[in-house]
Amino acid sequence: MTNPIEMRKIIPPAFEQTNLGEKILCYRPMKHGMPNLSIEQMGSKVIAHNYGHGGSGWTLGPGSAKYVNSLLIDSALGNALTDKSAPIAIIGAGLVGLFTAYDLVKRGYRNITIYAEKLDALASHYAGGLLAPVSMDNDHEMQAVIDQIGIDAYRFYDDVARNKNSDFKQGARLVPSYFNSREDSGLEAYVGKVMNPAKEVMLDFGNGTTRKMVVYDDGIFMNTALLMAELHDFINVHHINIVLGKIHAFDELEQKFIFNCSGLGAAELTKDKALVPVQGHLIMLKNQIPENMNYMILVYFGEGVTESGQKVKRSFYIFPKHLPDSAPQDIGVIGGTFIEGGNPDKPNLREYDSIIDEANAFFGIK
Ligand SMILES: Cc1cc2nc3c(=O)[nH]c(=O)nc-3n(C[C@H](O)[C@H](O)[C@H](O)COP(=O)(O)OP(=O)(O)OC[C@H]3O[C@@H](n4cnc5c(N)ncnc54)[C@H](O)[C@@H]3O)c2cc1C
């Protein structure tokens, strides 16, 4: 006899105009093939590249920093790094640059300078916060490396969520993550290693609409705004210098060892043609009931064309994002669009209406 499918009640959020907060347009740095996680000698400099994580920068961030830092430190090019006071430069103060600094400090390095054109309002602050390896375009043979990096990152966030990390206290939480299928989640490689198997459930929205979905009950929500604040606190406490300004060439820096964590900036800095922006639209929610927002959902709707004629992959997602210092009821973020090659000249603003339509359709709200 088969077990009956578990029913779960979710009370849909409110999506009227008065419940909609800031509308955000931002760009994922996606490198075709896989993120650039490599070491290169350029003249007298040794560059460790760590950029191009697409829609999965947070999902991979701590693992990616650990991977690239080890790659350099354990290589012949990184020999001089046996001296923990060796001067090190990091270009970029998004999550990748800050996790790189975090990992280096934990290994005992103490002469680190971060160079950044911008510190605030980065993709790293705006990102939704679902742990799932999505919106990347990895070559099949590289997938095992990406999976291992993701598993290491999951362990990091799981420790934060379970209060086992002495540096990070608030930025990650265990929250059920719902998808249409196991394949859509990208998380199957994590099952049996750090996550439990997903199961089928029936969501009941209490308005006559039900949806059969799969859920990972040990999904992780990363509160990206809080994590950025916690990373900056760590950087300050450990007296890591941040120098504001754009770097035009690696030679401008006096340090021999340079970590290139410049996100989309790497397109100019390294002339990397495989690195492309992927435009995304987000809407923050207001006036919700916080206890009803304890879940994440990601469902794909297929491809369409935007008002400016660009190809768009449309999905609907919702996560319980809450900005530090905002009212408890101002909780939730919805998205999400994936427009490869998008740029601020073509903001595709009608996508915000599609997101709201898709949210209403998903929850069966008339
Ligand atoms: C709409 C949206 C939703 C997302 N949701 C999620 C999610 O739910 N889960 C997830 O895992 N990921 C998500 N992401 C992806 C994630 O946000 C990105 O992968 C991540 O922010 C990239 O981090 P980064 O540090 O590489 O880049 P950034 O955050 O862009 O930081 C780059 C840094 O480099 C600096 N820089 C660049 N060029 C130079 C230069 N020449 N000189 C000096 N400084 C320079 C910049 O000023 C900045 O400080 C989302 C992204 C978007 C856009």
The predicted model gives 255-260 an average pLDDT of: 98
Which protein residue has the closest C-alpha to ligand 1 atom 31?
94
Q: Is the peptide bond before 336 cis (omega within 30 degrees of 0)?
A: yes
For ligand 1, say whether the CB of 101 is within 6 Å of any of its atoms: no
Contact 298, 317 (CB under 8 A): yes
DSSP-derived letter for residue 349 is: T
- Please report the pLDDT score of residue 1 as a whole number: 61
Around Cβ 302, how many Cβ atoms within 10 Å? 8
The predicted model gives 223-250 an average pLDDT of: 97
For ligand 1, say whether the CB of 123 is within 6 Å of any of its atoms: yes
For ligand 1, say whether the CB of 150 is within 6 Å of any of its atoms: no
Atom of ligand 1 nearest to the CA of 278: 53
Residue 298, amino acid: L
CA angle at residue 290 from 357 to 337, to 5 degrees? 30
Task: Report how far apart, in Å, the C-alpha atoms of 331 and of each of 287, 292, 294 are.
Answer: 7, 10, 10
What is the C-alpha separation between 35 and 50, in angstroms, rounded? 7
With H, G, I as helix, E, B as strand and everything else as coil, classify residue 10. Answer: coil
Spacing, Cα 137 to ligand 1 middle (Å): 16
Token output for 279: 């435009």
- Please report the pLDDT score of residue 32 as a whole number: 97
For ligand 1, say whether the CB of 62 is within 6 Å of any of its atoms: no
Could you tell me the pLDDT band of residue 73, with boundaries at 50, 70 and 90? very high
Token output for 24: 């955000």
What is the C-alpha separation between 251 and 77, in angstroms, rounded? 17
Token output for 241: 């210098």
Q: 286-297: per-residue pLDDT in tens?
A: 999 999 999 999
Give the side-chain half-sphere CA count within 13 A for 51: 29
Which protein residue has the closest C-alpha to ligand 1 atom 26?
263
Maximal C-alpha separation, the chain: 70
**Main-chain phi, psi angles of 134, to 5 degrees:** -125, 170
Q: Tell me which of 22, 95, 187 to substitute to probe ligand 1's pocket, judged by most ligand atoms within 8 Å of the beta carbon.
A: 95
pTM tops 0.95, yes or no: yes
Q: Tell me which of 23, 27, 28 to substitute to probe ligand 1's pocket, judged by most ligand atoms within 8 Å of the beta carbon.
A: 28
Atom of ligand 1 nearest to the CA of 52: 26
Alpha helices in the chain (DSSP H): 57-73, 95-106, 123-126, 143-161, 182-185, 224-237, 266-269, 351-363
Contact 315, 298 (CB under 8 A): yes
The predicted model gives 51-58 an average pLDDT of: 98
Contact 215, 247 (CB under 8 A): no
**Main-chain phi, psi angles of 70, to 5 degrees:** -65, -40
